[in-house]
């Protein structure tokens, strides 16, 4: 039972990938990596440096200065997961804001950005014992992952969950804006040229529209245990 596997969780925006990934990592003693946080941190870096805004996108400057964006995850024992740091500043709260969500999929289309982040992600998972969530984990980052999960749920369920998260954090957002963002990001993520969001042929699809967090956890934990028995 000491064998460690790699668990890749992909899926549409706000499908609860990070919730299940954190639960699994805590249960198994694995490292959890939120690959979306890295794309969000590069988006924040681009916003802070004026490379991207609602009406402007200076891709050459972003690419030229990408080497100045230093990303690091630091485990927060109080929260039970790692927080994202950009150039030694904790940006965990800032990268979750709707302003960042509205621009992140544009940043994630740039091949140079993907190359940099996929390199870091592969390095983080090289010893296995990792649960990583994102869009291209089972198809690009860890093609040989022992367990691949593809999460789906209805757009309304996803937007409602994300809206509730914002409200819980005390942030003023409109449901309609959150709903539009969820659909818009899915559209860009599935249609981009490089590493689009698609279900890996060997991924197991879980639609969690009608599942509680506990039910979902139990279903996926059973899949993990079955894999662990067979490695």
| Strand ranges across the sheet with 6-11 | 31-34, 130-134, 6-11, 147-152, 204-207
Count of residues binding ligand CDP (CB under 6 A)?
Answer: 16
Among the residue ranges 23-31, 86-94, 103-111, 220-228, the one whose residues contact ligand CDP (CB under 6 A): 103-111
Measured from the CB atom, is 69 or 108 closer to ligand CDP?
108
Q: Which residue is nearest to ligand CDP (CB)?
A: 36
Question: Does 145 participate in binding ligand CDP (rule CB under 6 A)?
Answer: no
Using CB under 6 A as the binding rule, whether residue 104 contacts ligand CDP is answered as yes
Minimum Å distance from CB 134 to ligand CDP?
2
Alpha carbon 182 to its chain centroid, in Å, reads 13
Q: Cα torsion for 23, 27, 30, 34, to the nearest 10°?
A: 0
Q: Do residues 8 and 132 make contact, with C-beta atoms less than 8 angstroms apart?
A: yes
Is 135 a residue that touches ligand CDP (CB under 6 A)? yes
Query: Which residues in the 163-182 window bind ligand CDP by CB under 6 A?
Result: none
In the set 81, 136, 146, 224, which binds ligand CDP (CB under 6 A)? 136
In the list 189, 200, 208, 216, the residue contacting ligand CDP (rule: CB under 6 A) is 189
Question: Burial letters for 138-175: b for 16+ Cβ neighbours within 10 Å, e otherwise?
Answer: bbbbbeebbbbbbbebeeebbbbbbbeebeeeeeebee
- Cβ atoms of residues 145 and 138 within 8 Å: yes
DSSP character at residue 231:
-
* Residues 26-65 contacting ligand CDP, CB under 6 A: 35-36, 39-40
**Residue 150, interface with ligand CDP (CB under 6 A)?**
no
Q: Verify binding: residue 185, ligand CDP, rule CB under 6 A.
A: yes
Site of interaction with ligand CDP (CB under 6 A)? 13-14, 18, 35-36, 39-40, 104-105, 108, 134-137, 185, 189
């Amino acid at each position: 039972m000491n064998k460690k596997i790699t668990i890749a969780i992909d899926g549409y925006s706000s499908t609860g990938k990070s919730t299940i990934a954190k639960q699994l990592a805590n249960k198994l003693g694995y490292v959890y990596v939120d690959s979306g946080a890295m794309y969000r941190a590069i988006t924040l870096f681009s916003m802070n440096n004026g490379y991207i805004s609602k009406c402007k996108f200076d891709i050459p400057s972003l690419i030229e200065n990408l080497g100045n964006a230093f990303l690091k995850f630091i485990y927060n024992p109080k929260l039970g997961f790692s927080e994202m740091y950009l150039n030694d500043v904790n940006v965990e709260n800032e990268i979750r804001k709707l302003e960042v969500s509205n621009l992140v999929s544009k940043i994630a289309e740039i091949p140079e950005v993907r190359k940099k982040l996929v390199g870091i992600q592969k390095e983080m998972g090289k010893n296995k014992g990792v649960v990583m969530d994102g869009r291209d984990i089972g198809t690009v980052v860890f093609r040989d992952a022992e367990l691949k999960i593809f999460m789906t749920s209805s757009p309304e369920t996803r937007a409602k969950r994300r809206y509730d998260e914002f409200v819980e954090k005390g942030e003023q957002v409109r449901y309609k804006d959150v709903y539009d963002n969820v659909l818009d990001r899915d559209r860009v993520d599935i249609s981009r040229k490089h590493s689009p969001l698609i279900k890996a042929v060997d991924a197991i699809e879980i639609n969690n529209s009608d599942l509680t967090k506990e039910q979902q956890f139990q279903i996926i934990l059973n899949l993990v245990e079955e894999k662990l028995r067979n490695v």
